[in-house]
Chain A
Amino acid sequence: MSLCWKLAWSYVRRHPLRMVLAGLAIVASAGMVIWVVSRYDALMAQLAYQTPQYLGRYDFFLTPENPDTGFLPSELVEPLRQDPDIAELDLGLQWSVRVLPDRPEGFPGQGLGGGGMGGFGGMGGPGFGGGTPGGFSGGFSGPGGSGGVGPGGFREPSPKQSPTSSPGVGPGGPLAGGGSVGGTGGFAEPSAKTSPSGGSSGGAIGPGGGPGGLTGPAGPSFSKKGPGGPAGPGRRGMWFGSPKLVGVQSSLPPYPLREGRWIDPTDSRARLTVIAQPLAEAMQLNLGDEVLVISGTKEYRLKVVGILEQTSNAPTLQKRSPTGRPMLSGPGPTLGPPPLALYVPQSLAEKIARKPGQVNLASLKLREGADSRAFRQRWLDRLASAEPPLLLVGREELRSAMEEGMWAASARRQAWSATGMALLAAVFIIFTTLSMGVTERVRQLAVLRAVGLSRLQVAGIIVMESLLLGLLGWAGGLAAGWGMLQVLAWAKPELFDGPVSLGTWCIGLSGASALGGAMLAAIVPAWQATRVPPGEVLSPPAARRPRWVWLLGLATVGLILIGVNPLVVFVVRLPEEARYDIYAAVGCTSMALGFLALTPLAIVLIEAVLGPGLAWAFRLQSYLLRSQLSSHLGRTLGTTAALSVGLGLYAAMMVWGYSMLEPFKPGDWTPDMLVAFQLGGLPESEVETVRHMPGVLADQCLPLAVEQPRLAEDITGSRFGTSVTRQDNVIMVGVEAERAFGGPNPVFKLQFVHGSAEEAIQLFQQGRYCIVPDHFLTATGLGIGDRFSVVPPTRPDRPVEYTIAGAVRLPGWHWMTKFSGLRRRSGRAAALVFAPYEQVRKDFDLKEINFFWLNRDKQVPVDETGKALADLAQRYPGSPQPVNQQGTWAFAARMYGSSVRVTLPEDIYDRLIQRADSMIWTMCQLPLLTLVVSSLGVINTVMASVRARRWELGVLRSVGLSRNGLFRLILAEGVLIGLAACTVSLAFGVMAGWCGIGISQYVSFFGGMETPLVVPWTKMAGGFGLAWGLCLAGAFGPAIAAARQDPLSLLQEGRAAL
Chain B
Amino acid sequence: MVVPLDVEGLTKRFRQGQVIIEALRQVTLRVEQGQFVAVMGPSGSGKSTLLHLLAGLTPPDEGRIRVEGHDLAGLSDYRRTLFRRRRIGLVFQAFNLVPNLTAEENILLPALADGRPRRELTKRLEYLLTQLDLQDRRRHRPDTLSGGEQQRVAIARALICDPAILLADEPTGNLDTLTGQNLCRLLHQLSKEQGRTILLVTHEPTVAVWADRIVVLKDGGLVHEFASSEHRDPQRLALRYQQIVGAELAAEVRA
Contact = CB atoms under 8 A, between A and B. Distances in A.
B188 interface: no
A549 interface: no
A457 interface: yes
Interface string A4-15: 001100110110
A138 to B, nearest CB: 71
Given A11-B100, A443-B96, 5 more contacts: A6-B112, A455-B77, A457-B113, A537-B96, A538-B52
Interface stretch (B84-92, B123-131, B189-197, B220-228): B84-92
A400 interface: no
A535 interface: yes
A452 B100 contact: no
Contacts of B114: 452
B211 interface: no
B99 A533 contact: no
B33 interface: no
B58 interface: yes
A448 interface: yes
B45 interface: no
A14 B84 contact: no
Nearest to A449: B81
A551 interface: no
Given A3-B112, A535-B58, A448 B98 contact: yes
B179 interface: no
B101 interface: yes
A454 B81 contact: yes
Interface residues of A, number: 25
B169 interface: yes
Contacts of B99: 14, 444
Contact of A447 (B55, B82, B98, B161): B98
Contact of B100 (A13, A450, A457, A537): A13
Contact of B101 (A10, A453, A533): A10
27 contacts: A2-B112, A3-B112, A6-B105, A7-B100, A10-B101, A444-B99, A447-B92, A447-B98, A448-B109, A450-B55, A450-B84, A450-B90, A450-B92, A451-B84, A451-B85, A451-B90, A451-B113, A452-B81, A452-B86, A452-B161, A454-B78, A454-B82, A533-B58, A535-B52, A535-B57, A537-B57, A537-B96
Interface in B26-67: 48, 51-52, 55, 57-58
A534 interface: yes
Contacts, number: 82
A451 B157 contact: yes
Interface string A550-577: 0000000000000000000000000000
A4 to B, nearest CB: 9
A7 B100 CA distance: 8
Interface centre among B55, B82, B113 (most CB of A within 10 A): B113
Contacts of B82: 452, 454
Contacts of B98: 7, 10, 444, 447-448
Contacts of A10: 98, 100-101
Interface string B209-221: 0000000000000
B110 interface: yes
Contacts of B48: 538
Contacts of B78: 454-455
Nearest to B93: A538
Nearest to B115: A3
B44 to A, nearest CB: 14
Contacts of B97: 447
Nearest to B106: A451
Interface of A: 2-3, 6-7, 10-11, 13-14, 443-444, 447-455, 457, 533-535, 537-538
A14 B100 CA distance: 6
Contact of B81 (A11, A453, A535, A537): A453
Contacts of A534: 55, 57-58, 81, 84
Contacts of B112: 2-3, 6
Contacts of A450: 55, 57, 84, 90, 92, 96
The 3 closest A-B pairs by CB, nearest first: A452-B85, A10-B100, A535-B57
Interface of B: 48, 51-52, 55, 57-58, 77-78, 81-82, 84-86, 90, 92, 96-101, 105, 109-110, 112-114, 157, 161, 169
B113 A538 contact: no
B113 A537 contact: no
Contacts of B113: 3, 448, 451-454, 457
Contacts of A454: 78, 81-82, 113
A535 B48 CA distance: 10
Contacts of B55: 450, 534
B81 A447 contact: no
Interface centre among B51, B77, B96, B157 (most CB of A within 10 A): B96
A538 B169 contact: yes
A533 B114 CA distance: 19
Contacts of B57: 450, 533-535, 537-538
Nearest to B55: A450
Nearest to B160: A451
A452 B110 contact: yes
Nearest to A13: B100
Given A10-B101, A453-B81, A447 B52 contact: no
Contacts of B58: 533-535
A537 B85 contact: no
Contacts of A451: 84-85, 90, 109-110, 113, 157
A914 B159 CA distance: 76
B59 to A, nearest CB: 10
Nearest to B161: A452
Contacts of A449: 81
Nearest to A11: B100
B208 to A, nearest CB: 20
Nearest to B95: A447
Nearest to A2: B112
A1032 B116 CA distance: 50
Nearest to B157: A451
Nearest to B96: A447
Contacts of A6: 101, 105, 112
A444 B97 CA distance: 8
A449 B161 CA distance: 15
A538 B99 CA distance: 17
A461 to B, nearest CB: 11
Nearest to B89: A451
Nearest to A535: B57
Nearest to A1058: B94
A1019 to B, nearest CB: 49
B86 to A, nearest CB: 7
A449 B57 CA distance: 9
B76 to A, nearest CB: 11
A941 B188 CA distance: 48
A232 B99 CA distance: 82
A230 to B, nearest CB: 78
Contacts of B90: 450-451
B219 to A, nearest CB: 20
Contacts of A448: 98, 109, 113
Contacts of B77: 455
Contacts of B92: 447, 450, 537-538
A533 B57 CA distance: 8
A455 B99 CA distance: 20
Nearest to B83: A452
Contacts of B51: 538
Nearest to B109: A451
B32 to A, nearest CB: 25
A5 to B, nearest CB: 11
Contacts of A447: 92, 96-98
Nearest to A9: B100
Nearest to A12: B100
Contacts of A11: 100
B16 to A, nearest CB: 14
A3 B113 CA distance: 7
A959 B101 CA distance: 37
